[in-house]
Amino acid sequence: MNSQKLYNDYKAAMQKIADLRFSISLLNWDQECYMPKSGAGFRAQQIGTLSAIAHEMFVDSKLGDILSQLNTSGDLDENQKRNVQESWKDFSREKKYPTEFVERMALTTSQTYQAWLSAREKNDFSVYASMLDTMIKMKREEADILGYENHPYNALLDLYEPDCKVMDLDVLFEDVKKNLVDYVKNISNQKQVETGFLKQNFPYQKQWDFGIDILKQMGYDFDAGRQDISPHPFTTNFSMKDVRVTTRVNENDFSSMTWSCIHEGGHALYEQGLKEENYGLPLGEAVSLGIHESQSRLWENLIGRSFNFWNANYSALKKYFPNQLEKVSALDFYKSINAVKPSFIRVEADELTYHFHIMIRYDIEKQLMDKSIEVKNLAEYWNDSYKKYLGLSVPSDNSGVLQDIHWSHGSIGYFPTYSLGSFYSVQFFNQAKKEINSLDEKVSKGELHELREWLRGKIHQHGRKYSAKELCMRITGEPLNFKHFMNYVKQKYDGIYF
């Protein structure tokens, strides 16, 4: 059969599967934003049914035969070859999953999410523990289904950060321990930054409106997206023309909403920057969650917590909140939003102690997978870890082990990508400053379009054409290097604290 005809058949099949998977995503989005509580049971069933159908379509022998033939074809262009190679890799992995397992996992995920919501309402981990235990056992089962070398965690990590291993992350977090821990301790011995004015009453609607303004400034396309409220901020997409973000608003803490808007906006820009012609294909998907996270952390920290950014936006912010910020200078505001102080909540942590939060979760996930710890002991282990690394006594389950949605979704192996993304973000931003003339000056004027287009050209548009490691080399000329992050940290925080 003609290779191009075969490729078109492959593309059509993949796009049908994408239609179904994005429909499932829409049901999940509705579940987290708008679905009434009583709908949970049937919603779990609906998602389970559709997930099983999508799985069966993807592992169908006809698609496998097409991929097998295309893999040996010499008539495809570079992008077509890459799509086929990545789809074959996905097909080979997906083929390992029994349909029964896929349906059971979808059902368990919905049920575990609802248990997490109930536990959050009651501030009681025990309400969630039984379903989470079921989920963890299923993730161990999944690791066995996929196969792994050295550690079961590697099988799940590969789902989010392909080719990354426990041995790589152990080295990376050892760098965090050796370099970042002592630096944070030194900061704690300095005169602390005033942050009290961020805990005043900031009315809900004004916060929301300001967040919308910032998303527009970043270049988030509201004709191809929207923002809603959810218990845990997230980004989801149903195509590159429908990319949605959520946030949460705390009227007594300005920090809660603003940087979740910027963070999720960074994720959304990545999805909106993928090429339409690659809908449903690997080149229409993000390469890894570490790279995805590099985009959100770049916007959140390197832009959203920079003095240049607030030089452009502080006067507008004061118009929204004239009484709250009347006596606060732009410099004091900048220092306040970059205050380094151990805290309980990961998503509200400063950009330095944030990595201690990730390190704790990484340690827990590894041990859950190799059975070193069990779910029944999880809250106690969590609290002990926070005391050890952050010096904090966790006051409640909601401030501790119940704060993240990820485990209720079965997202074991996801958390390390947050730190990977932070380290990638600095390396990418350093390169952007070399290639975009007067970037700091442009940010200080609120001119962010050149940075957005640079990121789109260097990262977004490629999808999965290059691996994360290849992408880093192409952009910066070297592998991921933790020194970039530490140099950035010292330059910025020496100026604030020393």
As given in the structure block, the two tokens for residue 45 are 């069933």
In the numeric block, the tokens 């950035």 are attached to 488
As given in the structure block, the two tokens for residue 21 are 């998977």
As given in the structure block, the two tokens for residue 266 are 């960074």
In the numeric block, the tokens 């910020």 are attached to 325
How far is the C-alpha of 106 from the C-alpha of 448, rounded, in Å?
Answer: 40
Nearest to 455 by CA among 309, 290, 266: 266
How far is the C-alpha of 252 from the C-alpha of 74, rounded, in Å?
Answer: 62
List, in order, residues 6 or more apart from 226 with CB less than 8 Å away: 244, 245
As given in the structure block, the two tokens for residue 489 are 């940290």
List, in order, residues 6 or more apart from 31 with CB less than 8 Å away: 39, 40, 43, 47, 110, 113
How far is the C-alpha of 205 from the C-alpha of 208, rounded, in Å?
Answer: 5
As given in the structure block, the two tokens for residue 28 are 């999940």
Asked if 307 and 315 count as a contact pair (C-beta separation under 8 A), the reply is no
Asked if 466 and 287 count as a contact pair (C-beta separation under 8 A), the reply is yes
Render the burial of 26-55: b for 16+ CB within 10 Å, e for the rest: ebbbebbeeeeeeebeebbebbbebbbbbb
Q: Residue 225 pairs with which residues in a beta bridge? A: 243
Nearest to 354 by CA among 311, 296, 427, 267: 296
Q: Residue 497 pairs with which residues in a beta bridge? A: none
Looking at the annotation, which residues are catalytic? 264
3-state DSSP assignment of residue 233: coil
How far is the C-alpha of 309 from the C-alpha of 302, rounded, in Å?
Answer: 9
How far is the C-alpha of 355 from the C-alpha of 358, rounded, in Å?
Answer: 5
Nearest to 261 by CA among 314, 298, 212: 212
